[in-house]
Amino acid sequence: MAAQLIDGKALAAAVRASLAPAVAALAARGAQPGLAAILVGDDLASRVYVRNKVRACEETGVRSELHEFAAQVTEQALLERIAALNRDPRVHGILVQLPLPGHVDAERVLGAVSETKDVDGFHAANLGALLRGAPRFVPCTPAGVLRLIEHAGVPLAGRHAVIIGRSSIVGKPLALLLLQKDATVTICHSRTAHLAELARQADVLVAATGRPGMVGAEMVKPGACVIDVGTSRTVEGKLRGDVDFAAVQEVAGWITPVPGGVGPMTVAMLVANTVRATELSLA
Ligand code: NDP
């Protein structure tokens, strides 16, 4: 039997719509949420991501401003712009689109964003708060993944969640969120032995590797919930996930598509974090 499709595009639209009362309440207090996006270089994928984020902001009544820099920009120039944005009362959220060029220390740049405007949730203080179970901003992709799982009604407490990928922006924070939901969590990576065997034990399997099609039907327990975070471009420019969708949908209980799964939810959670940052700035 084919898996139930979890529609991230529809859920993202619902999340954005659900923010309208909060945006209206802020307007009544004379505040409009504002997001500043920093884009360095001319990587096409980064450009598309930032464009989607700016568009989602506009649709939700969030003001956005784009700060573009050439790939050769100095780290100092980026730090100075971030310092100015940290001081700007009209800016409530600051997003630095990754990846940054190799000569720029990404850790230092991300760490320069005020933790109160860190709507991506990458600042060490916010990651630390997440670790302690009292997050201010949850990183957008893991937050979106959790919303997709909960929206589908997939139980987490006592279930085994297996995450393939251990980055600081997806795998690790997602593991913390799933732990908070009482799942038993296994994190896998490129050095994991017996990956397929572990994956097959998962009630919830999340793939976040950037290796197109690496999760096949033989890695999925019948009835499992499969969330595909991966996004890679084929030579024809088509977006592909980490999961072999056609094969896995025959085995899984639930599955997210690429595109139209985690991607739109990441954007929606960024808008939600920006609205929250605005509320916190008035508290
Ligand atoms: P990273 O490259 O930082 O991390 C990839 C992870 O996958 C690493 O932990 C790596 O292991 C692991 N990995 C790679 N190959 C294998 C393998 N063959 N078997 C097991 N594990 C493997 O990527 P990100 O976390 O930043 O992103 C992952 C994917 O998610 C990318 O495709 C990215 O484009 C996508 N993404 C999508 C978003 C969205 O909104 N839809 C948002 C963010 C990311 P090791 O640590 O050992 O190297």
CB of 208 shorter than 6 A to ligand 1: yes
Counting ligand 1 atoms within 8 A of each CB, the residue from 231, 232, 240 with the most, and so the one to mutate, is: 231
- Domain membership flag for residue 51: yes
- Domain membership flag for residue 163: yes
CB of 268 shorter than 6 A to ligand 1: no
Q: What is the pLDDT of residue 29?
A: 97
Q: What is the pLDDT of residue 255?
A: 98
The question of whether 32 is a catalytic residue gets the answer: no
Tell me, yes or no, whether 259 and 145 share the same domain: yes
CB of 169 shorter than 6 A to ligand 1: yes
Q: 7, 117, 118, 120: which one is catalytic?
A: 120
Tell me, yes or no, whether 258 and 148 share the same domain: yes
CB of 209 shorter than 6 A to ligand 1: yes
CATH (domain of 100): 3.40.50.10860
The CA 233 to ligand 1 mean position distance, Å, reads: 14
Tell me, yes or no, whether 155 and 100 share the same domain: no
pLDDT digits (tens, 9 = 90+) for 68-112: 999 999 999 999 999 999 999 999 999 999 999 999 999 999 999
Residue among 49, 46, 103, 47 nearest 77 (CA): 103
- Domain membership flag for residue 24: no
The CA 99 to ligand 1 mean position distance, Å, reads: 13
Tell me, yes or no, whether 154 and 257 share the same domain: yes
Tell me, yes or no, whether 258 and 161 share the same domain: yes
- Domain membership flag for residue 176: yes
- Domain membership flag for residue 3: no
- Domain membership flag for residue 76: yes
* Sheet order of strands, 184-188 included: 4-5, 254-255, 225-228, 204-207, 160-164, 184-188
* Residue 1: band (very low, low, confident or very high) from pLDDT cuts 50, 70, 90: low
Tell me, yes or no, whether 42 and 67 share the same domain: yes
Residue among 283, 272, 277, 279 nearest 117 (CA): 277
The question of whether 203 is a catalytic residue gets the answer: no
Residue 195's domain spans which residues?
140-263
Say how many domains are in the chain. 2
- Domain membership flag for residue 101: yes
The question of whether 76 is a catalytic residue gets the answer: no
Tell me, yes or no, whether 118 and 166 share the same domain: no
Tell me, yes or no, whether 57 and 171 share the same domain: no
Q: 34 exposed, middle or buried (CB, 10 Å; 0-12, 13-18, 19+)?
A: buried
Q: Which atom of ligand 1 is nearest to the CA of 209?
A: 7
CB 230 within 8 A of CB 259: no
Measured CA to CA, the distance from residue 94 to residue 87 in angstroms comes to: 11
- Domain membership flag for residue 10: no
pLDDT digits (tens, 9 = 90+) for 140-169: 999 999 999 999 999 999 999 999 999 999
Q: Which atom of ligand 1 is nearest to the CA of 231?
A: 32
Counting ligand 1 atoms within 8 A of each CB, the residue from 147, 163, 189, 215 with the most, and so the one to mutate, is: 189
**Which pairs count as long-range contacts for 108-117, CB under 8 Å and 24+ apart, including other chains?**
108/75, 108/79, 109/75, 109/78, 109/79, 109/82, 112/78, 112/79, 112/82, 112/83, 112/86, 113/82, 113/86, 114/86, 116/277, 116/280, 116/281, 117/85, 117/86, 117/91, 117/92, 117/93, 117/277
CATH (domain of 228): 3.40.50.720
Neighbours of 142 (CB within 10 A): 28
Q: What is the pLDDT of residue 4?
A: 98
> Model pTM?
0.97
CB of 141 shorter than 6 A to ligand 1: yes
Q: Which residues contact 20 (CB under 8 A, 6 or more apart)?
A: 60, 61
CB of 225 shorter than 6 A to ligand 1: no
